[in-house]
């Protein structure tokens, strides 16, 4: 990484305080929304993918729930078991996600003064960069019964260790990412790329890559082997996910997604906002430039795969874990004049609350 830094990073107290404010904010908002809707909050926490995780925790894998990777529901089941079933699965999962997000925030608070981490987009350059991550449209998933907080922590750890040349640790965390989400393979690819372009002789770089691959692949192979033994198909997760996605086997269908031109897409406000956020992430990727080739590769792969569903209605959720993109977008907005920056911040918070309330009301919130 470049030793120079244009900023000192966000203040440590701000990095630690803002997530607490967001958690309290969301909890109060959810309690009110659940009461207005007439549903128990604990029941509302089991909407959408959370219900699938509950099924896995309670009954194991079968049928369509092979689409979900095992590390998060496995850990949530462990937490629930430690309470002898006193906690509902979605409550155990929400507590677990909150802990993972807290660990991520504390780690960021300690590395934010490392100018190499700031320059390398591992830590936010400005307070607004951190604000944009904490109040990203779907940041509620970072403290609810979802896998994103775990993936955010693991992917960040993989890149942090890779940036300091600790390839064994980077490989372990990249392998764990592959047990958490399908995007884990992008983390592994990017970390392997980091090993290839690291300083040193060709032989040393080859050794670095070998360490990453030899460490990560055994972990990454656990789920495919499990699927083969239990379901007779090592890629049962891909087959299950394909059942939920629209056909994008042709290039025209893929690119029509960007124009809302596929027959299953609509032009309502939600779709337009998801598209706007996706293109904002593309803009952030361009702004990232050469600050970090490794993270740029990770973000590029993550964005390229999104339209493969034939629509971008998951952009809020998928973008929540792309921390470099959120930093860059926030830093960009933070550099504007107060007349633009303050209304932009208000709009960001309003959108965040709208999505969070939608989740409790069982409306689309990803």
**Pair 105, 16: CB distance under 8 Å:** yes
% pLDDT > 70, the chain: 96
**Per-residue model confidence as pLDDT tens digits over 261-311:** 988 899 999 999 999 999 999 999 999 987 899 999 999 999 999 998 889
CA 173: distance to chain centroid? 15
319/276 Cα distance (integer angstroms): 12
CA separation, residue 358 to residues 149, 169, 264, 268, 364 (Å): 19, 38, 21, 15, 6
Structure tokens at 193: 């790329």
Structure tokens at 123: 């830590």
Under the banding of pLDDT at 50, 70 and 90, the label for residue 4 is very low
- Domain assignment of residue 94, yes or no: yes
**Pair 162, 194: CB distance under 8 Å:** yes
- Domain assignment of residue 2, yes or no: no
**Pair 50, 40: CB distance under 8 Å:** no
- Domain assignment of residue 159, yes or no: yes
- Domain assignment of residue 366, yes or no: no
* Top mean-pLDDT range of 35-39, 65-69, 153-157: 153-157
H helices present in 221-337, as ranges:
222-231, 236-244, 251-256, 269-288, 293-305, 315-319, 323-334
Residue 330 predicted with pLDDT over 90: yes
Domain ranges, residue 286: 12-360
172/101 Cα distance (integer angstroms): 19
Under the banding of pLDDT at 50, 70 and 90, the label for residue 7 is very low
260/238 Cα distance (integer angstroms): 25
Average pLDDT (13-30) is 97
**How many domains does the chain contain in total?**
1
% pLDDT > 90, the chain: 78
pTM of the predicted model as reported, rounded to 2 decimal places: 0.94
For residue 249, the model assigns a pLDDT of 61
The per-residue pLDDT of the chain, averaged, comes to 92
**Per-residue model confidence as pLDDT tens digits over 240-255:** 777 666 665 678 888 9
- Domain assignment of residue 338, yes or no: yes
- Domain assignment of residue 193, yes or no: yes
For residue 333, the model assigns a pLDDT of 92
Q: Count how many residues are written for the chain.
A: 366
Closest-CA residue to 191 (of 221, 160, 222): 160
CA 24: distance to chain centroid? 21
**Per-residue model confidence as pLDDT tens digits over 82-124:** 988 889 999 999 999 999 999 999 999 999 888 888 888 999 9
163/245 Cα distance (integer angstroms): 35
- Domain assignment of residue 264, yes or no: yes
Structure tokens at 35: 């009461």
Burial class (CB in 10 A: 0-12, 13-18, 19+), 64: middle
Phi-psi region of 165 (alpha: psi -120 to 50; beta: other; left: phi over 0): left
């Amino acid at each position: 990484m470049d030793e120079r830094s244009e900023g000192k990073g966000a203040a440590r107290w701000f990095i630690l305080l803002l997530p607490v404010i967001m958690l309290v904010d969301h909890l109060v908002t959810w309690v009110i929304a659940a009461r207005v809707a007439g549903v128990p909050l604990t029941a509302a926490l089991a909407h959408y993918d959370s219900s699938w995780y509950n099924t896995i925790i309670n009954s194991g894998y079968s049928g369509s729930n092979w689409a979900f990777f095992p590390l998060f529901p496995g850990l949530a089941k462990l937490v629930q078991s430690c309470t002898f079933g006193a906690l509902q699965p979605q409550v155990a999962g929400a507590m677990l996600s909150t802990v993972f997000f807290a660990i991520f925030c504390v780690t960021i608070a300690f590395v934010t003064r490392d100018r190499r981490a700031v320059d390398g987009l591992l830590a936010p350059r400005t307070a607004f960069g951190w604000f944009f991550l904490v109040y990203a449209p779907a940041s509620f998933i970072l403290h609810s019964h979802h896998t994103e907080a775990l993936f955010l922590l693991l992917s960040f750890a993989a890149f942090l260790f890779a940036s300091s040349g600790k390839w064994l640790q980077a490989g372990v965390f990249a392998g764990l990412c592959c047990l958490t989400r399908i995007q884990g393979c992008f983390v592994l690819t990017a970390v392997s790329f980091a090993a290839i372009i690291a300083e040193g002789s060709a032989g040393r770089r080859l050794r670095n890559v070998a360490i990453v691959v030899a460490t990560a692949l055994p972990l990454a192979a656990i789920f495919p082997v499990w699927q083969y033994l239990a379901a007779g198909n090592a890629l049962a997760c891909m087959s299950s996910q394909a059942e939920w996605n629209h056909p994008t086997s042709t290039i025209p269908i893929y690119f029509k997604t960007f124009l809302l031109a596929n027959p299953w897409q609509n032009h309502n406000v939600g779709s337009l906002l998801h598209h706007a956020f996706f293109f904002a992430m593309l803009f952030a990727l361009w702004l990232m430039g050469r600050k970090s080739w490794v993270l740029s590769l990770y973000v590029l792969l993550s964005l390229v795969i999104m339209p493969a569903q034939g629509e971008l209605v998951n952009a809020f959720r998928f973008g929540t874990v792309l921390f470099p993109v959120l930093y860059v977008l926030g830093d960009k907005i933070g550099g504007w004049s107060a007349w633009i920056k303050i209304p932009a911040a208000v709009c960001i918070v309003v959108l965040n609350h709208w999505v969070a309330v939608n989740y409790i009301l069982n409306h689309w919130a990803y």
